[in-house]
Amino acid sequence: MCKKYTFFLLFLISFSVLSQQSYYNKIDFSKSGLALKNDLATLIINTHTNFLSYTPGVWNASKQTDVNPKNATQVMLIYGFSNAGTTARTRGVNDNGGNVGDWNREHTYPRSLGNPNLGTSGAGADAHHLRPSDVRYNGQRGNKPFADGTGNSGTVAQGWFPGDEWKGDVARMIMYMYLRYNNQCLPSVVGIGSATSTPDDMIDLFLKWNAEDPVSILEDNRNTYHENTNNTYAQGNRNPFIDNPFLATKIWGNPPSGTPKPEDRWGNLTLDNTTFFKLKIYSNPKQRDFLFLNRKADFTLEVFNVIGKKIISKEVKNKKNIDISSLKNGIYILKISQLTGSITQKFLKL
pLDDT in tens, 142-166: 999 999 999 999 999 999 999 999 9
Nearest residue to 126 (alpha-carbon basis) of 283, 214, 237 = 237
The mean per-residue pLDDT over the stretch 117-145 comes to 98
Kindly report the backbone phi and psi dihedral angles of residue 219, in degrees, each rounded to the nearest multiple of 5, phi listed first.
-65, -45
pLDDT tens-place string over residues 315-335: 888 888 888 888 888 888 888
Query: Which amino acid would we find at residue 207?
Result: L
Question: What is the C-alpha separation between 343 and 336, in angstroms, rounded?
Answer: 6
Q: Is the pTM of this model over 0.85?
A: no
146: CB partners within 8 A, 6+ apart: 159, 160, 161, 162, 170, 174, 190, 191, 192, 205, 206
Residues sharing a CB contact under 8 Å with residue 235, sequence separation 6 or more, in sequence order: 48, 49, 50, 51, 52, 126, 127, 128, 226
| Reported confidence tier of residue 100, pLDDT bands at 50, 70, 90 | very high
pLDDT for the residue numbered 132 = 98
> Quick check: 11 pLDDT over 60?
no
pLDDT of res. 1: 40
pLDDT in tens, 59-77: 999 999 999 999 999 999 9
State the pLDDT at residue 270: 67
Boundaries of CATH 2.60.40.3080 in the chain? 2-21+277-349
Banded model confidence at residue 276, pLDDT cuts 50, 70, 90? very low
pLDDT, position 121: 97
As a CATH number, domain 2-21+277-349 is 2.60.40.3080
Mean pLDDT computed over 168-188: 98
Cα dihedral across residues 70, 75, 81, 86: positive or negative: negative
pLDDT for 271: 53
